[in-house]
Structure 1
Amino acid sequence: MKGTILMHIGLPDQAKFDMDTRNDSVKRACTQMMKNALRQQRYRLKKRWFDPYPLHLVRKTSPVKSMTHEQWNDLVESWKDPKKMAACEKNKANRAKVKFHQTTGSRSYVVHLDTLGDKYNNEVPNGLDYFKECHYSNKKKGYTPSVQSAITEMENMISEPTEGEEQPKSANEVVADYLAEHTKQPKFLQNVGIQIVQSRSSVKNVEAQLAAEKMANADLRSLVTTQRYQIEVLTEQLQEEKQARVRDKEEMQKKQAETDAKLDLLLSRYPTS
């Protein structure tokens, strides 16, 4: 977009922009900005005028001048869609499970970190530095309690190596181990462009997990074998009972036939007049 947007400074408190509106890059940038602004506006409207109320108490008139009543009602109907409401509840539940909320907004980690410039005096930041940068809230001027606790623990792990280790862990290893233990999908280092090096403790954790899974699989196979044997025994018992019923039925039919034959013989000796 270089050369397509020119800024002219007039009065000290004024700024004017000349844009080449036919340039494709300018069109895409403006379209994306408008989409983001519209998405944020809908989010704020939903949070303020829809979420706090039962469906039958949601207002029927537009709460803002920039939206007609018809547009507002169409928006409300889209929010009432059962599938969309179910998706919102699922997303809300997933967000509640997030322990360390990033504070980079809509920017990706990489884009956010590119804005740091020479903050680290041309030194390469480590994983803990990146973790602090991506979880610091400028609005609250600090970290959330969970993030602050995580930073403190990781700093302690770096400064006080675990006894028995041949050499202290690097900051990246500490962050990788800590996030692997406290999050379900520890991809933070990968997302900020740091190659995840599996530390010794991580290897031990993986080995322990594999051993536990192997034992669980062995128990499962044993259980399946036991159940299969029990099924075979029950099947055999049912087959024997079925055969016994068939034999009993045949025996009863045989006795009934003998009884009928004897009765016929007796009746034949006493002819009817």
Structure 2
Amino acid sequence: MMKLAVRQQRYRLKKTFFDPFPLHLVMKTSPINSMSDKQWIDLVESWKAPEKMDICQTNKDNRDNVMLHQTTGSQSYMVFVENIGDKYSGHEPDAFDLFKDCHYNKKTKGYTPAVQAAIAQMENKLSTTTESEAPKVVNQVVADVLAERTRKNQFLCNVGIEIAQPTSSEQNGAVPDLQAENAKLRSIINTQHRQIDDLTMKVHETEEGRIGTKKRQVRSKLSWKRNLN
């Protein structure tokens, strides 16, 4: 957990203090008190390595190829779904509701063209769905549209919705419940993400407390010296 928390902190440092600047303008001193100047320089040198920069560029290109960008931010899907639960008082949100919420951009107050097209296609297919058929049919429609538009979309699995995918081996009655295993694994990962977020917050609070204590000690020492004089 500590390793993941440190990795997350390094990601934020890189995004804020390294990526926006040309290499010759990157800071030479540590931007945070919990890291020494030498540690910062070593970290910057690792980011500047050609192999590392090639990997980062490849990852960036892969992200650019994603058509349906989620807008849940640093939150995992499951945490995001829990936080918007109050919005759906009286009924449980289905896959279509969650898809719209998880892809709505609050900054632009709307959807990207690709997401808008997917929503329109879903609405068109759902126009003939009766109330008694929902939410099972709704979930299946969302799964079908995502399958048409993406190669390996994990949205439904990420939000905890399982869709049956019959296969030839299932017809023989010998298919392991892989979706249940995936949902269980996803739940464990989301729990770890929440724990990491809590741990990161505690690390920051501890660091801020340490800095505050050090400042008070310095002020107390200066005050004591003035009283002696």
* TM value normalised by structure 1: 0.50
Count the aligned residue pairs.
160
Identity over aligned pairs, percent: 44
* Aligned residue runs from structure 1 range 1-273, under 5 A: 32=5, 36-49=8-21, 53=22, 58-59=24-25, 61-62=27-28, 66=32, 73-160=41-128, 170-198=137-165
Can you give the 5+ residue segments of structure 1 that lack an aligned partner in the other structure? Answer: 1-27, 162-166, 204-273
Letter in 2 for 1:175: V
Q: Give the number of the structure whose alpha-carbon radius of gyration is greater.
A: 1
Asked if 1 retains the 8 angstrom alpha-carbon contact of 2:30 and 2:37, the reply is: no
Letter in 1 for 2:14: R
SS of 1:119's equivalent in the other structure is helix
The aligned counterpart of 1:206 is none
Letter in 2 for 1:126: D
CA RMSD of aligned residues (A): 3.2
Can you give the 5+ residue segments of structure 2 that lack an aligned partner in the other structure? Answer: 168-229
Asked if 1 retains the 8 angstrom alpha-carbon contact of 2:126 and 2:141, the reply is: yes
SS of 2:117's equivalent in the other structure is helix
SS of 1:185's equivalent in the other structure is coil
> What is the deviation of 1:61?
4.6
Structure 1 residues 196 and 79: CA distance shift in structure 2, 3 A? same
Question: Quick one: distance in 1 between partners of 2:13 and 2:107?
Answer: 20
- Please say which of residues 136-145 and 94-103 is displaced more in the overlay: 136-145
Letter in 1 for 2:59: N
Question: Quick one: distance in 1 between partners of 2:63 and 2:154?
Answer: 16
Asked if 2 retains the 8 angstrom alpha-carbon contact of 1:126 and 1:171, the reply is: yes
Question: Quick one: distance in 1 between partners of 2:115 and 2:123?
Answer: 12
* TM value normalised by structure 2: 0.59
Asked if 2 retains the 8 angstrom alpha-carbon contact of 1:60 and 1:73, the reply is: no
Q: What are the Cα deviations for residues 84-139 of structure 1, in whole angstroms up to 9, with x where unaligned?
A: 11211221121011111111112111111000132112312111111111111222
Structure 1 residues 60 and 87: CA distance shift in structure 2, 3 A? closer
> What is the deviation of 1:45?
1.8
> What is the deviation of 1:181?
0.8
Letter in 2 for 1:59: L
